[in-house]
Amino acid sequence: MKNFYITTPIYYVNDSPHIGHAYTSLCCDYIARFKTLDGFNVRFLTGTDEHGQKVENAAKFKKILPNEFVDKVSENFLKLTKILNLSNTDFIRTTQLRHIKSCENLWNKLFDNGHIYLDKYSGWYSIRDEAYYQQNELINGKAPTGAEVEWVEEPSYFFNLSKWQDKLLKLYEDNNSFILPRSRRNEVLSFVKGGLKDLSISRTSFSWGIKVPNDTKHIMYVWLDALTNYITYSGFGSNEKNFKDNWPADLHIVGKDILRFHAVYWPAFLMAADLPLPKRVFAHGWWTNEGEKISKSLGNVIDPIQLVNQYGLDQVRYFLLREVTFGNDGDFSKSQLIQRINSELANNLGNLVQRVISFCLKNTMGKVPDHNNKFKNVDFEIINSYESELLSLRKLIDNQKLDESLKEIWLKISRSNKYIDDQAPWNLKKNDTERMNTVLYCLLESIRQIGILIQPVMPESSSKILDIFGLSVDERKFERLETQLKVGKDLIKQKVIFPRIESR
């Protein structure tokens, strides 16, 4: 079995989960589920980033100790993984012992390899971004992200990032899909070409973090700590055999705001520690809310849990993945969400299933009818297209064209809708029941295939569709797309799968 390892960023626990967190996680879940159904041994990691000044301040603000605070907030993120029905295979917390050991191990490697030195940092720091900024990067006294910055002067260990410029450029050149999408790759490229400064990787002015080995006045810079989570899960520093088998990651999915950390610092750290590099970093865009930037001060933060409660989980999953070209920014609009639910889910897909199943319940005694082996070319087009569809979906998923993969499946749904209208089984019922049965067989077969293909995006709804045919877990895998429905099998009626939403 081939391995596939995918990660979300680990989320800061300074605040409650919002749509941005949900989005990154859902994109990964979609890919992870696809790969699992396609026969891969998938590892899918998510979790929480619990150290640093931002989290320490949030705990202070709540007047509780940081460790109590992170336990509480991390729990909300863990709950979100259940609410979103994520198929993650672990949930890492940077306060766990396994992670602390892994960080110490990485630090020691970097130190022993001669890439860390002690000096003093004086410069700008943004707590919100947990990032250092150069004077010339500031815009009106703020970080380019709009975050406040403060002047910091403290003893600090440095990582010799400036020495890695050529190696990084070579990496991007040799593997031109290491960073995707292209536009983001170009941004990183010009950043690195502009020259890299050594990176401060320890702090001394606060204490909420992992202590630097052999110099416990220092704590590790939260990004060095956080990025290491990806190798902690693979067994770095605790199980060398596991680590060999389970690293590198195939895909890190991140938001565009944190690409630099993943595409510049992370590969540099790994190269410096003589460790293999992840195969790809993909940066997705940001959501706005009804055209406006999402921010706490504007009070327009979207709560993913509320959204799920109001519209249904699979509906929200489908919408978020389908609405934007993966990699671009997107706008969240309620009317657009309702529009997609009603037209693409309730009408195109839900009605197709409902119409065919009700018709069979009335006219084929609720069983899969006999096709009599009298297929015409139009029938073969419907029942044999899964092979080329699967090939095309694989390609799209491997290139992170998530929205396009859904478009592709919905084309299949449209073709089935056209087929039912063209073949009009309700007319055949009057004068050619044999042909009617063949047509219904093909429609059921197409619904089975659609049910299998939509599992990654809508795990619960697809399950209801596949339950109609009483399929076992094994029969739902992609490799079983070719196993056609057995004639005479009972069809099990289901409730409406996608209720329409009345817009107010």
**Which stretch, 4-12, 63-71, 136-144, 455-463, contacts ligand MSP (CB under 6 A)?**
4-12
Of these, 5, 12, 125, 157, which contacts ligand MSP (CB under 6 A)? 12
Q: Which two tokens stand for residue 470?
A: 């009483």
Contact between 209 and ligand MSP by CB under 6 A: the answer reads no
The nearer residue to ligand MSP, 254 or 357, going by C-beta atoms, is 254
3-class DSSP state for residue 119? strand
The DSSP code for 367 is: B
**Which stretch, 56-64, 251-259, 362-370, 378-386, contacts ligand MSP (CB under 6 A)?**
251-259
Contact between 327 and ligand MSP by CB under 6 A: the answer reads no
The interface mask with ligand MSP, positions 285-324, x = CB under 6 A, is: -xx------x------------------------------
Contact between 49 and ligand MSP by CB under 6 A: the answer reads yes
CA 50 to chain centre: 20
Integer CA distances (angstroms), 9 to 53, 252, 292, 315, 456, in order: 18, 8, 24, 24, 20
Contact between 326 and ligand MSP by CB under 6 A: the answer reads no
Distance of closest approach, residue 403 Cβ to ligand MSP, in angstroms: 15
Of these, 227, 307, 320, 349, which contacts ligand MSP (CB under 6 A)? 227
Q: Which stretches of 384-424 are DSSP H helices?
A: 386-398, 402-423
Contact between 269 and ligand MSP by CB under 6 A: the answer reads no
Which residue has its beta carbon closest to ligand MSP?
Answer: 255
# chain residues binding ligand MSP, by CB under 6 A:
19
* DSSP letters spanning 33-74: HHHHHTT-EEEEEEEEE--SHHHHHHHHHTTS-HHHHHHHHH
Q: Which two tokens stand for residue 416?
A: 């089935």
Q: Which two tokens stand for residue 491?
A: 């069809």
Contact between 147 and ligand MSP by CB under 6 A: the answer reads no
Distance of closest approach, residue 283 Cβ to ligand MSP, in angstroms: 8
The nearer residue to ligand MSP, 226 or 409, going by C-beta atoms, is 226
CA 349 to chain centre: 24
**Number of CB atoms found within 10 A of residue 390's CB:** 18
3-class DSSP state for residue 503? coil
Contact between 254 and ligand MSP by CB under 6 A: the answer reads yes
Handedness of CA 213, 215, 216, 217 (dihedral sign): negative
3-class DSSP state for residue 81? helix
Q: Which residues bind ligand MSP (CB under 6 A)?
A: 9-12, 20-21, 23-24, 49, 226-227, 229, 254-255, 257-258, 286-287, 294
